[in-house]
């Protein structure tokens, strides 16, 4: 980055002034005397000092601006991380809100239950009532429907999300992809706590949990592909269709 143009102008003007001062001083000596020459020399010295001081001040300002910009860049990076984490929190809230809304719509008595998956303590929203298969499928899949809808909204409104500064939306999408992969792998391997969504969905539809795992994993993979390849039309529609597939059991 170059220094301001006004600094160069000041240096040139000061230099021309310095070069012209000795000639002016000689004329003054002849007409007035030695005292004028002394004044000219003092003026010359003052101009030199002011020029040096101006250069130092400008250099100082330039360095301060550089440090400020570096600090701003680090602050922006920190804020981006905070935005992604906040977006992931919103995605988590949407997922759990889906379960709560489904339970509320069915009039079930819900409570928070401590669970453990792969030795990692967590919690789940459970219900005390005995539900029909259809109701069990609705309650278990409602969280995934909510996060699917949130991810689709983000990618539809911001198809080129990767090239944008939208850390909050990126966090929502990251939670969706991570959760889809986690639940999908858990369904394929039938691993995790008994309260996992894929198991409840399989029980509700009377099918195999591995098929549910594939159905949950597919949208996450396709949406991750859409993030890196926003112009892929086939991925956009394949992702939307894969999300709608989870509604098929409700048609029976």
Same domain, 63 and 178: no
Q: Supply the pLDDT for residue 70.
A: 54
Phi then psi for residue 182, to 5 deg, are -65, -50
Q: Supply the pLDDT for residue 116.
A: 73
Per-residue pLDDT band at 45 (split at 50, 70, 90): low
Query: Is 157 within a domain?
Result: yes
Query: Is 173 within a domain?
Result: yes
Query: Is 91 within a domain?
Result: yes
Same domain, 177 and 237: yes
Same domain, 151 and 66: no
Whether the CA torsion 110, 114, 119, 120 is positive or negative: it is positive
Assess contact for 159 and 181: CB atoms under 8 A: no
Same domain, 62 and 106: no
Domain end among 49, 70, 91: 70
Domain end among 44, 70, 96: 70
Same domain, 16 and 90: no
Domain end among 15, 47, 70: 70
Is the predicted pLDDT of residue 101 greater than 90, yes or no? yes
Q: What whole-number distance in Å separates Cα of residue 53 and Cα of residue 50?
A: 5
Same domain, 64 and 132: no
**What digits encode the pLDDT tens for the residues 12-38?**
334 444 334 344 333 333 333 434 444
Query: Is 202 within a domain?
Result: yes
Q: How far is CA 46 from the centre of its chain?
A: 54
Same domain, 212 and 143: yes
> How far, CA to CA in Å, does 79 sit from each of 75, 82, 165, 177?
6, 5, 11, 22
Domain that holds residue 109: 80-251
Same domain, 84 and 184: yes
- Would residue 192 be called left, alpha or beta, if left means φ above 0 and alpha means ψ between -120 and 50 degrees? left
Q: How many domains does the chain have?
A: 2
Per-residue pLDDT band at 96 (split at 50, 70, 90): very high
Query: Is 75 within a domain?
Result: no
Per-residue pLDDT band at 53 (split at 50, 70, 90): very low
């Amino acid at each position: 980055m170059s220094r301001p143009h006004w600094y160069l102008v000041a240096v040139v003007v000061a230099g021309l002034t310095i070069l012209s001062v000795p000639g002016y001083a000689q004329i003054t000596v002849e007409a007035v005397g030695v005292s004028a020459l002394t004044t000219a020399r003092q003026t010359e010295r003052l101009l030199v000092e002011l020029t040096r001081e101006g250069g130092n001040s400008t250099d100082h300002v330039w360095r301060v601006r550089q440090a400020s910009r570096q600090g701003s860049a680090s602050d922006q990076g920190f804020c981006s991380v905070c935005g992604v984490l906040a977006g992931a929190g919103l995605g988590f809230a949407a997922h759990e809100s889906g379960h709560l809304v489904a339970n509320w719509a069915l009039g079930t008595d819900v409570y928070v239950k401590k669970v453990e998956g792969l030795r990692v303590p967590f919690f789940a929203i459970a219900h005390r009532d005995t539900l029909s298969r259809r109701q069990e499928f609705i309650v278990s899949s409602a969280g995934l429907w909510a996060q699917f809808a949130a991810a689709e909204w983000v990618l539809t409104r911001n198809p080129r999300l990767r090239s944008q500064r939208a850390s909050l939306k990126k966090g929502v999408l990251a939670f969706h992809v991570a959760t889809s992969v986690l639940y999908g792998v858990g369904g394929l391997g039938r691993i995790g706590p008994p309260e996992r969504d894929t198991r409840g969905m399989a029980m509700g539809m009377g099918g195999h949990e591995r098929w549910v795992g594939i159905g949950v994993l597919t949208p996450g993979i396709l949406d991750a592909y859409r993030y890196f390849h926003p112009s892929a039309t086939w991925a956009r529609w394949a992702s939307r269709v894969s999300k709608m597939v989870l509604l098929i059991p409700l048609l029976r």
